[in-house]
Structure 1
């Protein structure tokens, strides 16, 4: 498995569906065997993983949306976990 870089274009993997769950007030990742309840950070990152945006663009959007800086390492660390869980694929 190749780790994500700033040029990688992550997308939610086939078999998973990301959606907002109003009852739980969070994003969830649905798959045939169940559901993963995501914290806000994970939901915000995965909601931008559409295969069109690269990691650098995702980081830039997150930093702008949350008026934060230096999120790249955190996003890459989350994507490494998401890859291990097979939640995302890199293009």
Structure 2
């Protein structure tokens, strides 16, 4: 997939949800094939991906909460990784389906930190 542009409006695909596990104090990205554990920064980024905010707007919001020089590039990098896994839509472009051998990476409890 090509680089996610600054004006792109990403959102999670249907059936993919963010969840906070209060018992374990962990963020999870629930997907049809299982779940991916997220760090708090990744969860904050994905929580802002509603299809209305641009990548620049997401980065600006995160800049208020986190210190860093390359916030836009950090957000772009995470969103590119999520998009490559077929879990993110950018401006209505459907994600590329994964080859069957890669789907096994989505086993329950996979880590995305």
User: What are structure 1's unaligned runs of at least 5 residues?
Assistant: none
User: What are structure 2's unaligned runs of at least 5 residues?
Assistant: 92-113
Range 29-38 or range 63-72, more displaced: 63-72
Q: Match for residue 13 of structure 2? A: 13
Residue 65 of structure 1: how far off its partner (Å): 1.6
Is 1:37 matched with 2:13? no
Q: Match for residue 75 of structure 1? A: 75
Does the 8 Å CA contact 1:12/1:18 hold for their aligned counterparts? no
Range 30-39 or range 61-70, more displaced: 61-70
Q: Which has the larger radius of gyration?
A: 2
Range 79-88 or range 68-77, more displaced: 68-77
CA RMSD of aligned residues (A): 1.4
Runs of 4+ in structure 1 deviating by more than 6 angstroms, as ranges, are none
**Distance in 1 between the 2:51 and 2:24 partners?**
27
**Distance in 1 between the 2:90 and 2:3 partners?**
9
Scaled by the length of structure 1, the TM-score of the pair is 0.89
Secondary structure of the 2:14 match is: coil
Is 1:90 matched with 2:90? yes
The count of aligned residue pairs is 91
Scaled by the length of structure 2, the TM-score of the pair is 0.73
Q: Match for residue 60 of structure 1? A: 60
